Amino acid sequence: MPAARRSIVMEGIVCGVIGAAVVALWFLAFDVARGAPFLTPGLLGAAVFQGTSSPVGLQITAANVLGYTLLHGLAFVAFGIVAASVMAVSEREPALFVAFVILFACFEVFVFGVVGALGQSLLGALVWWSILVGNLLASVAMLWYLLRVHRALPATLVGSWGGVLREGIVAGLIGAAVVAVWFLAIDSIQGEPLRTPRLLGAGLLQI
C-alpha cells in the first residue's frame, strides 16, 4: 500500500475511533444521568443482534452492550476512512469540500433511518434527541480532528469562497435596502409609514 494511502487509512481510523468514543461517552453520561447505565447500547444491541423491537421486559446484557459497541466502532471507522479520503481530495480541489459536508449530512440521515427502522417503541425508549446530540458531537469532534490534520484546508477554503461570500453579503444588503425603501415609499404614499414592516414583524412574533 502506498504511503499516502496508508496515511489516509490511519487518519480515517483515528477519526472513526474519535467519533465512536464521543458517542459512547455521550450515551454513557446520558444513561447514567437518567439512572440507567448502558441502557442505550444495550437496547441497540438487542435490536441488532436479537431483533428486539420493544424495550418491555428487556434485560441489558454485557453481550449486547459489547457487541453493539464493537459494531458501532467499526461503522465509525469505515465512515472515518471515507471522510478522510474525501478530505484529502478536498485539499487538492477545495470545491469538493461540499461533498465532504454532504457526506456528513447523509451520515446523520442514515443513523436516524437505521434507528427508526428498529421500531417506534424502541425509538421512544432511546430518546431520539439524545441520538441526535451524540452524533452531532461526534461529527464536530471528527471534523475538528480532520481540520487539525489538514491545517492548510481552512485557509484554502476561505480564499476560494471568500470572494463569493463577500459578493453574496453585499448583494443581500443591497436587496434588503431596496425592499425597505420600497415598503417605506408605498406606506408613506398611503399615509401609514412603516405599516408593512410592522405587520410583518407582528406576524412573525405570533408564529
d(CA 50, CA 197): 58
- How many Å apart are CA 154 and CA 26, to the nearest integer? 28
Higher pLDDT residue, 22 or 201? 22
Q: Hey, which of 60-69, 166-175, 180-189 has the most confident mean pLDDT?
A: 60-69
C-alpha to C-alpha distance for 79 and 69, rounded to whole angstroms: 15
pLDDT tens, position by position, 61-113:
999 999 999 999 999 999 999 999 988 887 777 767 777 778 888 877 777 77
Domains of the chain, residue spans: 3-150, 162-205
| Residue 126 · residue 112 · CB < 8 Å | no
> Quick one: which of 114, 96, 85, 94 has its CA closest to 15?
85
Q: What is the pLDDT of residue 108?
A: 75
Can you tell me the distance from the alpha carbon of 112 to that of 195, in angstroms, rounded to the nearest whole number?
A: 45
State the distance between the two ends of the chain, measured CA to CA, in whole angstroms.
Answer: 58
Cell of 3: 504511503
